[in-house]
Structure 1
């Protein structure tokens, strides 16, 4: 399992409006595409350098493919990265702060200490 890769997915998708929409509409396809083409690209590297070994664990892939943000939090995804991406995808489906309240409600069962988010 790689919290780095999980957070990298959330970070990179959240920064591209077309990827946000793609992930909202086709989460499984977006996760498969991103893992096969983007996962091993180095962040902030424009020279084509990449690694070859990064892959999601099955639990990470499944949580991403089902938009299961409580499970992502449990797996160590950074809550700010998760919250900002899911706000971009689902805030329009709720009134006011409805999505943020739903996010808080679905994560309310966690108590201190929270899952480790260090990468």
Structure 2
């Protein structure tokens, strides 16, 4: 498991409106494409610099493909990164603040100590 890779996915997808829409419409294909094309790029560097070892594990891949933000939180994804990306994807389907309230409701069963979100 790589909390770094989960957070990198959430961060990079959230900052690209085309990736946000692609992830909303076809999460499985987006996760597969992102893992192949973006996962090993060094964050903030041009395409020429990359690593070769980062991969999602099965639990991470499943949670991303299913838009399972409570599952992502349990895996250690940063809650602000999940919230901002999922707002971008699903706020339009709810009343004002509706998605934020749904997010809070679906995470309300979590109790302290929360999963470690350090990378």
- TM bucket (normalised to shorter chain) is over 0.9
Query: What CA RMSD, in Å, does the superposition of the two structures yield over aligned residues?
Result: 0.6
Q: TM-score, normalised by structure 2?
A: 0.99
User: In the TM superposition, what whole-angstrom CA distance separates every residue of 1:19-78 from its partner, at most 9, and x where no partner exists?
Assistant: 000000000000000001110001111251100000001000000000000000000000
Deviation, 1:109, is 0.3
Retained in 1: the 8 A contact 2:41–2:47? no
Q: Map residues 30-41 of structure 1 onto 2, 5 A cutoff.
A: 30-41=30-41
Query: What is the count of residue pairs matched by the alignment?
Result: 119
Unaligned runs of 5+ in 2: none
Partner of 1:101: 101
- Taking structure 1 as the reference length, the TM-score comes to 0.99
Larger deviation: 44-53 or 97-106?
A: 44-53
* Unpaired stretches in structure 1, ≥5 consecutive residues: none
SS at match of 1:28: helix
> What's the counterpart of residue 12 of structure 2?
12
Provide the residue aligned with 1:29 in structure 2. Answer: 29
- Give distance in 2, aligned partners of 1:46 and 1:71: 31
